[in-house]
Structures are given as C-alpha cells and as structure tokens.
Structure 1
Amino acid sequence: MPVPRFHVDAELDSGREIVLPAAVSRHATRTLRLEEGDPIIVFDGRSDFEYDATIVASVVSRPDRPGRGGGVKAVLGAARAVASESPLQIELVQGLCKGERMDFVVQKATELGVCAIHPLLCERSVSRPDPGRAKRRIEHWQGVAIHAAQQSGRVRIPVIAELQVYEDWMAKGGSSGFFLHPEAKESPSEVDMTGFEGSDLDPEKSLRVIVGPEGGFSQREVERAQEAGYRGLRLGPRILRTETAGLVAIALLQARLGDLG
C-alpha cells in the first residue's frame, strides 16, 4: 500500500512534532487504521516540498465532539522537493453546474494540474445558491481539491475563488486565455500559442479556460468574452457536457504546453 499523504495547513520543518487536524486524524486511524510507528507523508499546500513523517501517538478527538480537540501526532523527517506542478499556470473558469458535477470538475481539474478554479454564475446557470449556501459550497470544493491533491501527488492546492457573476468577473480583467464554444474557429491543435510555447513560456503568466454552464453561454456572454480579449476554442465535432469540456481542454493544453505526454 502506498504511504498515505495528508495536507496539513501548518508550518512544517524537519524534526518538528505536529498534530494532524481532527478530520485528518479520524481518517488516518479509523479508515486507514494507521498506528504508532506507521509512516505518512505531509505537505502544506503552499510550497514545492513534502515531508516524510512517522506517527508517534494515535489520539483521536472525542466521538461526541467531532471536529474538536486533538488528533494524531507525528514527527517530521526529511523534506523532499516534488516536481508535480505543471509549468503551465492554468486557471479554470467554470460556469456553475449542479451538485456532484461541480465536485467532479474540481476533483479532476486538480488532478490535471490547474492552479485556480473560478466558479461563475452565468445567464443560463441552473444552480443559483444563496450567499450562505454559496460560501459552504466554496469550502466544500476546497476540501475536494485538497483530497484530489493528496491522492494525485500534488504539493500545491488550487485556489477555489468565491462565486461571482459572469459579468462582474469579466469586468475585473485579468490574464489571457480561451472560452470554449462549439462554433469557434480554432481548435487546441490549431490555435496560435505565441507567448506560451517553449522558452517564451512565463511560469508567472496564467492561461484561463472559460467554460459555460449546462445551458452554454448566451450570445451576450460570448460577445463579452471576445471584448475582453479571450479567444474562442472548439473541441471537435461533438458538443461536450460542461463537466467534460473544460477537462478535455485542460488535458489538451497540458499535452501541448505543459507536462502531460
């Protein structure tokens, strides 16, 4: 069995003793059945390093107070640089989709190496959560991203931005990129990537991929993206679902400019 990896939002340093968060501790002891002396790997999600560690005490928070109290203690060993982050800084801008579809998008986009995910409310978005529920969804998606990073070997956690209205997000401007549309003229293999290819690739420059919701973009949203400088991109002769289209585009861009293939 592979050595389990855990994200710990704390300052990490070789030789330091840390306490895993309560939820992580419960998963480690109750699901994975880890015990004192077992090896684990921890990372903080902000650097390019992970740490070998050893469990030194297995103390889980009280079952009648879930999420409270202490947890598993571990001692950090050597730091190890991990080259799991793509040189291509891709941000997925996803028209909000319903329920588990959005979970799927966040999970797989994290596995594919995106650095940020921006959920947007579009004109044709079916799901329209109120502010309180939207905040809870953002927290949930951040958890999905953390679990996907743990599983996939990433050492950095994608940022899940706050839910915004499409027009408001466009008004802020930002990096260059593409919006997906079945009637666009260019495909990922045809599009001019000047400024992103080879030695011209700037690791600090992000490339945004904008995907519509279940009902697609309205004509006004297409025009707004073009006005903002985003270029249309098609993904072949078939119309892909919203939870599929962005992931396909990311994989194709990673294969051409990033670290896939």
Structure 2
Amino acid sequence: MESFFIEPKNVKKNRAFVNGEEFHHLVRVLRKKVGELIYLFDGTGKIYTARITKITKDNAECEIIEENFMRGELNVEIAVGQALLKNPERFEFALEKLTEIGVRQIIPVLTERVIVSKNPKDISPNKIERWRKIILSACKQSNRAFIPELFEPVVFEEFISLEKYEKKIIFHESEVKSLNRVLLYDYLKNLKNVGSILLAIGPEGGFTDEEIEKAVESGFDVVSLGCRRLRSETSSIVSAGVISQFFISETKNL
C-alpha cells in the first residue's frame, strides 16, 4: 500500500484527513477511490492503516483501522553529517537512501574541500526545502513512520562540536598509523549498549588532515570502510547501512 503524510492535527479519534499536496497526489496522481486501504504517517513515529471513506474537492476523509508506533525503526539513533557535494544530484541521492535505511538526523556539512560554498548562509531556503521534500518522498516510498530531522547546513567546526551522541565516527582513508584507524566491522564488534551514533562523511577529496585532527580532539574515532576509495554518497549509504544491520542483528540476539 502507498503511504501518505498527514499533519498530527489532522488525526481526530478514529478519523484522519488528507489534504494539500498529499491529497493531490492521492486523488489526482494515484487516483485512489473510496473504500481503498492506504497507510498514513504523521512523521513523529505514528503510522496508521486507514480506509478512504469520503473524497471532497479539498480532502480525503479516512477511517483509521489500525495504529502503530515507530514500526520498523532502529533501536539506535544514527545521525549522518554529510558534506555537501559538487554534484547536487549525488547529495540528494544520499539524502534519499539514508532516509530509507533509517537514519534519524541528516546534517549538511561545509568542509574545507567542499566546492559549493564555505558559508551556510549561501545555501538557499529553496534548496533546503527541496531536500526536505526528497526526504519526505523517501519516507513514503519506504513506509517509514518517522521523518528524519534535516539540520540547517553547518560548518565543520560547528558540526564536530555536537555533543549529544554517545559515539562519534569520522570515516577516513588515510594510512597514518597515529590515527589508530580501525575497520568498521572491527569497530562495531566492540560497541555495547550504544543508543546514538554520529557519522562524519567527507566531500570529494575527503577530509583534510587538519580536519581529522580536530575531529579526533573532539571525541571522534577514525574508522575505515576498506581499501577501496568510495564516492562520498556511497560511503554514507554503506556505513549507515552496515551499522543499521549490525544493530538489527544485535537486537535479535538479545
């Protein structure tokens, strides 16, 4: 079944109302009819199985048949700091896939080697709104109950100062021994009872040595994804995907 986003205020007891762009998509694009079953989600974790009971010119009224909370969400909170990329389509691809994987927060980061801009104020509100729509669309496609939080773009120094995460990882391909770099698989084997993880993914060309040093000073562990040089968006998807699967298997083994 297809999923549609509704504002929490549009859920009243056992009734829900789909309006705005979602109503247009439901009626004009997918041509849903009265009597059909759909999923509804409010972005905060609640997801409903509902039956369309009435369609007017402005909204679709639905009867809520079943309500679930945080269905399919990971037990660990994964946040990804993704450096902006020269090719906007690659950055948007990362947003889409990170949402599908189950990431809770996505933080656009401006690093030394980012070509797009060095100032967060240069990122237009229209572009950020487009990113939010991509994330929402990915939630609908993957039947997620929770919409990942998209942070405002930040500079690298502000990003590494975030403190609420229990573990912070920066991915780097350097062979410098002083960094005590470990493979992601070996790193995860030593994690126990972790509730939140922050990942740092660099732009084309990766992080500078100075940025790595600053991150380590701020509590980041340096981790490798292997000997191949991956594209930035690939690194995001692989790292978040491996970590999410690790914690899913850990939960099953409890």
TM-score for the superposition, normalised by structure 2 = 0.86
- Which whole-Å CA distance do the structure 2 matches of 1:132 and 1:246 have between them? 24
- Which whole-Å CA distance do the structure 1 matches of 2:149 and 2:69 have between them? 21
Q: Does 1:71 align with 2:71?
A: no
Provide the residue aligned with 1:53 in structure 2: 50
Alignment of structure 1 residues 1-261 onto 2, 5 Å: 3-11=1-9, 12-16=11-15, 18-47=16-45, 49-60=46-57, 70-81=58-69, 83-97=71-85, 98-128=87-117, 131=121, 133-175=123-165, 176-183=167-174, 185-191=181-187, 194=190, 196-197=191-192, 200-201=193-194, 205-258=195-248
Structure 2: gaps spanning 5 or more residues: 176-180
The 1:254–1:186 alpha-carbon spacing in structure 2 relative to 1, beyond 3 Å, is same
CA contact (8 A) 1:14 1:51 kept: no
- Which whole-Å CA distance do the structure 1 matches of 2:244 and 2:14 have between them? 37
Cα RMSD after superposing both structures: 2.3
Letter in 1 for 2:99: T
Letter in 1 for 2:83: G
Structure 1: gaps spanning 5 or more residues: 61-69
Identity, % of aligned positions: 26
The 1:170–1:81 alpha-carbon spacing in structure 2 relative to 1, beyond 3 Å, is closer
- What is the CA distance between 1:53 and its match in structure 2? 1.6
Larger mean CA deviation between 77-86 and 149-158 belongs to 77-86
Q: Select the structure that is richer in helix.
A: 2
- Which whole-Å CA distance do the structure 1 matches of 2:2 and 2:214 have between them? 45
The 1:104–1:259 alpha-carbon spacing in structure 2 relative to 1, beyond 3 Å, is farther
Query: Number of aligned pairs?
Result: 242
The 1:124–1:114 alpha-carbon spacing in structure 2 relative to 1, beyond 3 Å, is same
TM-score for the superposition, normalised by structure 1 = 0.84
- What is the CA distance between 1:165 and its match in structure 2? 0.9
The 1:46–1:166 alpha-carbon spacing in structure 2 relative to 1, beyond 3 Å, is same
Q: Select the structure that is richer in strand.
A: 2
